[in-house]
Every structure is written in C-alpha cells, then in structure tokens.
C-alpha cells in the first residue's frame, strides 16, 4: 500500500478589489448574470462570467425547474452556451458568485461535482487550463489556475474517443 498526499494550490484575496483589472471586470459581469437567475424555489441565485481568449464574455445563471432536478447550474448554462455557439473557443477564465435574500453568504460558493466534471471536460478539450475565481460579494475570493486543482480525479476514458462507428 502506498499513501499519497494531495496538495491543492489556490490564491486567496480579501476582496475583488485586490484582483487584476481583467479579473475584477469578470467578477462584476458574474454579478450582472445574477439578475437572469431563475431560482423561485431555492431563492439562491448563482451567476458566472466566462472569458474566452477571443475577448468575448459569456454569462450564465442558474435555471431552476419545478420538476427538480431538471434545472441547470450557472456554470453549465454558460459552458454549454459556449459549446453550442462557440464550439472552437478557448476559455481563459471564469468567475462564479452567488446571492440570496434569505441569509448572508460569507464564504465563496464553489461549483458542484457535476459542474466540475463539465469544466474539466472543457479544459481537456481545449488542452489548456481554465482559471476559476470563486468569490463572495463583498468578501473573500478564491482563485485556482486550473480545474485540475479542483477535480484531480476527473473522469477520463481515452478509449471512448478512440471508438469508431
């Protein structure tokens, strides 16, 4: 038996005002995306902004449905929009935040496992890292340089892409 330690590297900031101008702007766009959240059941709005290397930014917000779990998280809304509308785009970075009127969010909200797997697939597809910024409005910011830091054991099966019809 071998015991292996896993270390995750990330940057931590007191607030978005400590970020670069580009990252600060991306975070503000993620906040704008909150306005398009359809979350009448949880009342928990999530917004994301994804910056492509072309300079374009794609926004996403969570979309709930009374027939749970038919809704979709903000990250996947944005990423699937990119896949459908900009299939050859390269994602540079994404910012994710959340807001609710029911309680104070005091720590950054991170992505669910399903979103992390989709993010990992996009990173794998483009063969370059995607920087992710999680932040709490008016509070702490966490920043990673690659999805691999968040999901080191992402599902990958190279033989699936080798199968020919």
**β-strand partners of 128:** none
State residue 21's pLDDT score: 98
5 occurs within a structural domain: no
State residue 164's pLDDT score: 62
Which has more confidence, 161 or 116? Answer: 116
43 occurs within a structural domain: yes
CA terminus-to-terminus distance, the chain: 40
Tokens of 164: 């020919």
CATH of the domain at 102: 3.40.140.10
123 occurs within a structural domain: yes
**Average pLDDT of the chain?**
95
pTM: 0.93
| Tens-place pLDDT, residues 52-107 | 999 999 999 999 999 988 999 999 999 999 999 999 999 999 999 999 999 999 99
State residue 9's pLDDT score: 93
Range 106-113 average pLDDT: 96
Range 110-137 average pLDDT: 96
57 occurs within a structural domain: yes
- Whether the predicted pLDDT of 157 surpasses 90: no
SS (H, E, C) the chain: CCCCCCCCCCEEECCHHHCCHHHHHHHHHHHHHHHHCECCCCCEEEEEEEEECCCCEEEEECECCCCCCCCECHHHHHHHHHHHHCCCCCEEEEEEEEEECCCCCCCCCCCCHHHHHHHHHHHHHHCCCCEEEEECCCCCEEEECCHHHCCCCCCCCHHHHHCCC
| Tens-place pLDDT, residues 1-39 | 999 998 899 999 999 999 999 999 999 999 999 999 999
110 occurs within a structural domain: yes
Q: How many domains does the chain have?
A: 1
Q: Are strands 131-135 and 91-100 parallel, antiparallel or unpaired?
A: parallel
State residue 162's pLDDT score: 66
131 occurs within a structural domain: yes
User: Residue 152: which domain range?
Assistant: 11-162
pLDDT band at 50 (very low <50, low <70, confident <90, very high): very high
3 occurs within a structural domain: no
CA atoms of 123 and 129, how far apart (whole Å): 6
State residue 163's pLDDT score: 59
151 occurs within a structural domain: yes
């Amino acid at each position: 038996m071998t015991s292996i330690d896993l270390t995750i590297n990330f940057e931590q900031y007191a607030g978005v005002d400590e970020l670069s101008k580009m990252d600060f702007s991306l975070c503000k766009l993620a906040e704008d995306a909150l306005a398009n959240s359809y979350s009448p059941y949880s009342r928990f709005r999530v917004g994301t902004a994804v910056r492509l290397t072309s300079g374009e930014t794609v926004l996403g917000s969570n979309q709930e449905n009374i027939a749970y779990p038919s809704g979709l998280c903000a990250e996947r809304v944005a990423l699937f929009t990119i896949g459908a509308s900009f299939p050859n785009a390269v994602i540079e970075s994404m910012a994710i935040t959340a807001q609710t009127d029911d309680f104070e969010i005091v720590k950054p909200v991170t992505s669910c496992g399903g979103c992390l797997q989709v993010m990992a697939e996009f990173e794998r597809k483009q063969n370059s890292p995607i920087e992710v910024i999680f932040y709490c409005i008016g509070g702490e910011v966490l920043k990673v340089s690659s999805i691999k830091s968040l999901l080191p054991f992402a599902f990958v099966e190279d033989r699936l892409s080798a199968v020919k019809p």
